């Protein structure tokens, strides 16, 4: 028997306290599948242009996909909203146990739409396909304490950073081990006075034979072998070897002490792994003073190399601090790096140096709680702090989102991937660095083709929602799986991915985003001081050529707006009707 695909949306209005279940239009399910695509379509309809991300009118969606709970690999959910950091579309993902529990708790619903603002802090309990609003007894607690208050359920919650509306606050699940991290979905949750979503449900079951077949296939992929061996913590070793590891606040592209932070250090400290017996084992679990912590690649790259801290235990402690506060560690680490650079440049007077883990931790707490003027400024992002103090060129951003630690001066294609990401600087929309590093520098056309292809592919995977890495094992982007649940996509799946990418672009264009925002950060035009790529920069003319090639391949005008022909081809005319900037 084929399990039914969820075909409804559960809506909770925190202002009125109402709960409503509505059917998802069949046409939307065919065109956008679920997850990112369906969430983007709902968000476009729910919001008017210019809505304050922290205001009453913003919406927050917790979205699953038509295959949630069935696919091998780690289950995930998507938090979708308008970002308080960028003012753009935001989709952020987290894995672990919570997505499976949410899928069971939602019953016939593929997602949860939260609107309005509660008068007092609340918790939202999802069970049996329904939602109940209850007082939040854990307001003021960190993410671990909040989760432990519900021992019989899976919890997605905010910590102090979300409560104080930090623009890069996360939504934490599984006692802070997993985070919907980038872009500030946790701040939106805090602005709605929603402390936690508590899910009580068993994961859906079915398709065991298909699941095992694809799990076996995944084990034999290069990605599957790599993840079983080392996971994302090895990315620091890779980036360092090719000279693309941002080090000492974006001054260098190489760290001599990588062995003290990379896979060797993690394996020496680890006491085990998450989901060790599965086809896709989770991250390494290492002990800290505040309990076990699961460091990801970004932990060592941003809080270690980025801050020139070589003590793995100290870096893990900083990662745990961010996790418990509920704060994106990439943006948080960049805020600390910016402060160090700003002090050295005379932009502000805050004695803090690279290598100072205690000073970094103190600043992180100031930011999460907005207890100082500097902490308050950095709480709104590096760009906001630079607007107050100066020093905009000290740490790179795109659309006000701080860059991850892959330095484009070591792999030029990443400059285009960051600039054109729909949620601001992001390495997960496209990672051409993984191929360019072995092929040599690419030309503009090849770079544009690679970035577009990856962005469209990931748009499909994140609409299913499939584990990022397991996606490598999916034939034809998972069509066999979709057919098994009786869902017929509207067109080829590659076209579905392109359609979804254009929906998020139309959302961003409606918010005023244009070519001027798909920008090359000034930092990347300064030469690296040390490492295999010492002296390297991202040339502005080369970048402009890549961006022109990208727009041409996308079917967008030279100002970055999708053309009328592209809109018609992708059946998005009703979305673009109110965009006066649309070009013929």
Question: What would the mean pLDDT of 163-186 be, rounded to a whole number?
Answer: 96
Per-residue pLDDT tens over the stretch 52-78: 999 999 999 999 999 888 877 778 999
Using CA atoms, how far apart are residues 272 and 260, in angstroms rounded to an integer? 19
Q: What's the confidence (pLDDT) of residue 65? A: 93
Q: What's the confidence (pLDDT) of residue 169? A: 98
Comparing 462 with 581, which gets the higher pLDDT?
462
Residues 508/424, Cβ–Cβ less than 8 Å: no
DSSP 280-295: S--PEEB--TTS-B--
Using pLDDT thresholds of 50, 70 and 90, give the confidence band for residue 514.
Answer: very high
Tokens 């402390």 belong to residue:
195
CA distances from residue 49 to 39, 168, 376 in whole angstroms, order as listed? 17, 21, 27
CA distances from residue 488 to 289, 398, 493 in whole angstroms, order as listed? 50, 36, 10
Residue span(s) of the chain under CATH 1.10.569.10 come to: 208-402
Going by their DSSP bridges, the two strands 109-115 and 8-13 should be labelled as parallel
What size, in residues, is the chain?
584
Fold entry, domain 411-576: 1.10.599
Per-residue pLDDT tens over the stretch 455-488: 999 999 899 887 777 666 666 667 777 877 777 7
Domain 208-402 has CATH 3.30.930.10: no
Q: What's the confidence (pLDDT) of residue 581? A: 47
3-state secondary structure of 145: helix
* Token pair recorded at residue 304: 């270690």
Cα 537 to its chain centre, rounded Å, is 26
Residue span(s) of the chain under CATH 3.60.9.10 come to: 8-200
With 50 as the cut, is the pLDDT of residue 132 above it? yes
Instruction: Give every CB contact of residue 362 below 8 A, 6+ residues apart in sequence.
Output: none
pTM here?
Answer: 0.94
Q: Is the dihedral of CA 169, 18, 98, 417 positive or negative?
A: negative
Using CA atoms, how far apart are residues 133 and 194, in angstroms rounded to an integer? 10
**May I ask the CATH architecture of the domain 8-200?**
4-Layer Sandwich (3.60)
Average pLDDT along the chain:
90
Q: What's the confidence (pLDDT) of residue 489? A: 82
With 50 as the cut, is the pLDDT of residue 297 above it? yes
Residue span(s) of the chain under CATH 1.10.599.10 come to: 411-576
Residues 123/195, Cβ–Cβ less than 8 Å: yes
Characterize 341-379 residue by residue with b for buried, 16 or more Cβ atoms within 10 angstroms of its Cβ, and e for exposed.
bbbeeebbeeebebebbebbbbbbbbbbbbeeebbbbbb
Per-residue pLDDT tens over the stretch 316-358: 999 999 999 999 999 999 999 999 999 999 999 999 999 999 9
**What angle separates helix 357-369 from helix 329-344, to the nearest 10 degrees?**
110
């Amino acid at each position: 028997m084929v399990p039914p695909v969820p075909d409804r949306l559960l809506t909770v209005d925190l202002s009125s306290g109402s709960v409503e279940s509505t059917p998802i239009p069949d046409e939307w399910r065919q065109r956008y599948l679920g997850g990112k695509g369906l969430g983007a379509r709902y968000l476009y309809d729910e919001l008017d242009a210019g809505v304050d991300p922290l205001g009453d009118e913003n919406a927050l969606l917790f979205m699953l996909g038509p295959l949630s709970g069935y696919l091998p690999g780690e289950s995930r959910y998507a938090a979708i909203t308008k970002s308080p950091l960028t003012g753009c579309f935001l989709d952020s993902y987290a894995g672990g146990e919570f997505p499976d529990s949410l899928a069971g708790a939602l019953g016939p619903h593929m997602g949860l739409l939260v609107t309005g603002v509660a008068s007092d802090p609340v918790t939202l309990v999802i069970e049996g396909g329904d939602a109940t609003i209850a007082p939040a007894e854990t307001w003021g607690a960190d993410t671990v304490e909040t989760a432990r208050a519900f021992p019989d359920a899976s919890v997605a919650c905010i910590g102090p950073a979300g409560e104080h509306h930090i623009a890069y606050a996360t939504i934490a699940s599984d006692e802070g081990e997993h985070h919907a991290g980038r872009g500030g979905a946790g701040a939106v949750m805090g602005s709605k006075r929603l402390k936690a979503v508590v899910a009580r449900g068993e994961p859906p079951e079915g398709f065991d034979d298909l699941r095992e077949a694809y799990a076996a296939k995944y084990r034999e992929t290069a990605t599957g072998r790599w993840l079983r061996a080392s996971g994302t913590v090895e990315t620091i070793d890779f980036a360092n070897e090719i000279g693309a590891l941002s080090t000492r606040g974006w001054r260098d592209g190489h760290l001599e002490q990588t062995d003290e932070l990379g896979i060797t250090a993690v394996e020496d400290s680890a006491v085990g792994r998450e989901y060790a017996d599965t086809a896709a084992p989770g991250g390494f679990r290492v002990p800290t003073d505040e309990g076990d912590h699961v460091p990801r690649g970004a932990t060592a790259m941003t809080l270690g190399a980025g801050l020139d801290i070589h003590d793995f235990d100290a870096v893990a402690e900083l990662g745990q601090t961010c996790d418990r506060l509920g704060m994106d560690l990439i943006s948080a680490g960049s805020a600390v790096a910016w402060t160090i650079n700003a002090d050295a440049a005379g932009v502000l007077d805050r004695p803090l140096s690279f290598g100072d883990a205690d000073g970094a931790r103190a600043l992180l707490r100031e930011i999460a709680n907005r207890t100082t003027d500097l902490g308050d400024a950095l709480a709104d992002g590096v760009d906001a702090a630079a607007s107050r103090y100066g020093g905009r060129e000290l740490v790179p951003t795109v659309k006000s989102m701080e860059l991850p630690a892959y330095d484009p001066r070591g792999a030029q294609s990443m400059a285009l991937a960051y600039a054109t990401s729909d949620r601001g600087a992001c390495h997960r929309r496209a990672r051409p660095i993984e191929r360019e590093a072995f092929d040599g520098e690419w030309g503009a056309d090849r770079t544009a083709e690679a970035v577009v292809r990856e962005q469209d592919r990931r748009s499909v995977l994140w609409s299913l929602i499939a584990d990022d890495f397991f996606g490598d094992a999916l034939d034809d982007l998972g069509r066999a799986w979709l057919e098994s649940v009786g869902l017929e996509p509207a067109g080829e799946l590659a076209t579905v991915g392109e359609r979804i990418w254009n929906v998020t672009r139309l959302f961003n264009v409606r918010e005023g985003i244009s070519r001027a925002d798909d920008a090359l950060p000034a930092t990347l035009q300064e030469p690296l001081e040390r490492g295999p790529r010492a002296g390297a920069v991202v040339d502005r003319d080369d970048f402009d050529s890549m961006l022109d090639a990208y727009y041409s391949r996308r079917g967008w005008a030279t100002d970055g707006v999708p053309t009328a022909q592209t809109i018609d081809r992708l059946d998005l005319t009703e979305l673009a009707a109110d965009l006066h900037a649309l070009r013929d």
